[in-house]
Amino acid sequence: MDNLDVLKLQKENFLEFYRNNKMRITVAGAVIAASVFGGFYWATYYIPAQESKAAKALAPMHYYFKNDSMELVLNGDKGRRIVSAKSIADDYGSTSKGKEAALMVSIAYMRTKKYEEALKYIDKTEANDDILSAAILNMKAVCYSNMGETEKAASQFAKAGDVAENEFAAEYYKRAGIHYETAENYEKALNYYQLIADKYPTTGVGSDINKYVYKMKAKLGEYNP
Q: How many CB atoms lie within 10 A of CB 79?
A: 6
The answer, yes or no, to whether residue 20 has pLDDT greater than 80, is no
Q: What is the pLDDT of residue 215?
A: 94
* Distance, CA of 89 to CA of 83 (rounded, Å): 11
Tell me what the mean pLDDT of segment 46-66 comes to: 81
Closest by Cα among 81, 123, 72, 71 to 99: 123
Q: What is the tens place of the pLDDT at every residue in 133-175?
A: 999 999 999 999 999 999 999 999 999 999 987 788 999 999 9
Q: What is the DSSP string of 4-18?
A: HHHHHHHHHHHHHHH
The superfamily in CATH containing domain 128-225 is Tetratricopeptide repeat domain (1.25.40.10)
Mean pLDDT lowest among 37-51, 98-112, 166-180, 205-219: 37-51
Q: Round the CA-based radius of gyration of the chain to a whole number and report it.
A: 28
The pTM score is 0.77
Under 8 Å between Cβ of 115 and 109? yes
* Distance, CA of 158 to CA of 82 (rounded, Å): 38
Q: Which residues are 82's β-sheet partners? A: 77
* Distance, CA of 120 to CA of 136 (rounded, Å): 12
Where exactly are the structural domains of the chain?
A: 1-126, 128-225
Tell me what the mean pLDDT of segment 31-58 comes to: 62
The answer, yes or no, to whether residue 4 has pLDDT greater than 80, is no
